[in-house]
Structure 1
Amino acid sequence: MKNTEGTQVSITIPAIASLDDEDMPNIVPFYDGRWSKQTKQLLADFDTQLLDLNQGWASTWTEWCCPCCKRHKRQIVRLTPSGVLLCHLERHHDHLDDFVKRLFEEIKTQCNDPNLRVQMSRAEGALRPLVERFECVLICADCNLADGRVKRELRDEIEPHFTFTPSEIADFITIQDNQQHGVDFERARAIWTDAGEDFSDRVDFATRMAKRIANGRHKREVAPGRKLHGQPQTKDVCFRLLEMQVPDIHRLHLGEAIEARSVARDGVGRTQKPGKTKSGKPPTDAEFATLDAEQTSTSKLWRGAGNDWQCACCDRSKREILRRSNRGKWTARIHQFEEFELETNPEQLWRRRLDGAGDIVISAPKRLLVCQDCREIAAKLRQRRADLDARTLTLENLRELANPATANVAHDVDFERVKEMVAENASLSNAISEFEEHKRRAIDIRIEVLRLKMTGRSEIEARDFIGFEIAKTRDWELEEGDEHTDWLLEEAARFGPN
């Protein structure tokens, strides 16, 4: 590239990881990551070096204000019992949107006409804003938690797809700086009662429109050929010139690098460690041999774990997890625990976020072997609070709760802290739901290919059919639709048999 004097100018892009914290505000001036002056000042004000700051927080400026509780960031941050500064903002969306998606998925599976399927997808996109009670909005984690608490408390009264709007949440919360909100459940019940008729009317409207579109009404011809391009934008021209000078700029994955440098997750699994419990009386060699033989003959997990197995959570051996039941009988079990691996591949992250993935993106579940006492932490939480998502307890959470573990004794667990951990891991709950939706979407594409092949189409024709629909629905080039279809099919293969 040449400057105004005609001299050739070389361009270099410094690695984000090599930049100082002072450089980051110049690169992303409206970001508020772990490197910002305000974040560092808040850590000093709360006298901690432990930080849990998510992408929602990092992607907004320092003076951001929650549309529900009207608190600024300095009033939203709070210290967890384990001394971690929590800086979380969450995307709050109307679950009527999910209801409309399901309606149209059902009618599209009955249609073999690619043009009509594209019309259905576009009609779905036009209908959703008419059905939703509010736009997707970023709110503080405490307001998002308040919405969830009410829907769990009143789950027998409130319809599953109902979501409180930001202004409705503001009407039933009690606000304090740097604290979780109090909730007025009676006020929330009254709000639901007032909104129920409008909610039902929207459900009825969406259902009727889906049936009309499925019956071929509201047809709109799909434009053939490639998508239209408007007037060139200055930013696009500048990026193209930059791309010519730095051909592998896409390999730098600058967006992902900035996000990774901006967020912090010191809070995962942090808790206060209890004092060590006195060990129980260990089994004799004969007692252990009897139980070991029994479990080896009846439990595949016990047998497959081997003699040198240790719990992935509390590190106790097979002999150390034995303990007496209330009836005095020796008992021990090995169970599977599902941990979630986070996605780090930039290409995968980009494609997943095309469909609404958040700052935490799950790549795949990973199953580990844990003892009965570690597994019971999640099981007992489900018994005590079935409304809480026990899946969000990470292995690190369980490890902190279980340790210091004691041989031949059940873990002494603070279940108030367990509930706090679930609340602090709200982003992980959203990520699990998004991963399940992504898995379902990929498997549905595979099933659709199989269905189309049964109608006489070849594998390539079936792929092209689906790629055409994706491209036209998203206003992409046809090649982009084919590439996205191939990726979804690869994902379905990675997930294995349904």
Structure 2
Amino acid sequence: MRFEDKQEIAKQLRQNFFEKVVAGDALYVDGVMSPQTIMLVEEFSASGVDMTAAWSWTPMDWVCPACGRCKADIVRLNSKQQLMCRLVEHHDHMKDLLETEFVAACKASEKIVADEFGKRFAARASQMVAAYDNAIICDDCNTADAKAKDAVSADRNFSFSPGEIRKFVKQEKNRPHSIDVQIALEIWRGHVSTFALRLKIAKRIAEIAANNVHWYQELPLEQRAEVIRARAASFSTVTFGKEWIYELTGDPRVQEGIFRRGKQQAPTEYPSDKDVEYVARVTSSKHWLAVPEEWKCPVCRRSKNATVRQSKAGWIFLLSEPGFFGTPEWRRGGREKICGECSSLAVEIGKEGVLRAGSNGSSNYAQYVTAEELKQVLIPQAHGRHNVNSTKLDEIMLTMVERIRMMDDKSRKLKD
């Protein structure tokens, strides 16, 4: 491929990206040019926009995991009458503490023996003592975290998690937060003993790293499996717009989905009551708690218990919210929760349809399939993967290919 051709492809991809943002069709990002931002600028009579990168990394329907406010309720004017669209990355300060302890341990030795790998070992190990994962929250919640720590005289290396911030902030629409100091104090008191233990662990890890007795062996980026896999997939998908990577090995899945080949065997092992309890409380608690006990998958009609299946990591329970073709509420939050197996099958069917239609398509393959079509082709089994009625799928595939081509034509006309 000529350099000029690559430039033209990159230019077109960039144009397509910003067109989606302007149209409000970019599911995972936002920007100063999005319809919601423009509407809010007009609503607040703002002179401009003060937007952080984190705001642009999140969709228009994003909700703060700490205070629970949506973007329209977070914005307000700053002193320059600009619309403040400010989200930040909130993190546990243990990583910062470990780095400080590492430097101190190195300098405390008569001769520094640690190297760059020791330092990176300390950084990687910091996750072991972190109380929560880094999160994107609104700037008001991040400020409330600092105010609460000062108010309760918490250790300077401590920070409240998004869930804890939600308990003590008094949130209002388009205003900074006030805080309930008593609730913040109770939360901090509940952390005192475990935080002291975490400090000891952090100090010990820093000493191990500083004395160069760590076990971390770093591979160059180009040798790491996840980098190799991601680079190949990116080249195939982004550069050419199709998932052609499997064709390189002669794998015929691009013509007929691999999910059609052979029969998914019925499971030979079933989860015990303890297995299900462990799934509900540990491995898949977020998904398990997202639906009531009497829930049944709207597509395959399996119960919660029957949806639990064995994976390489053990027993799991997965839910998904795909945007099927014809779904009125296509945005996240307005979709019906279905089991992970039904969602995976919808993606595979949509992917085959895109390839058969010769379409550049979209990575959201479920949008080409209706829930009713999925019901017609799947053959469910408890605690296992679905089988497929291939004959019925062939009938449906004709309709789907025509649908995809019509959607492509409509998309081209809109661009023209």
Using structure 2 for the length normalisation, give the TM-score.
0.48
Larger radius of gyration: 1
Of structures 1 and 2, the one scoring higher in RCO (CA 8 A, sep 6+) is 1
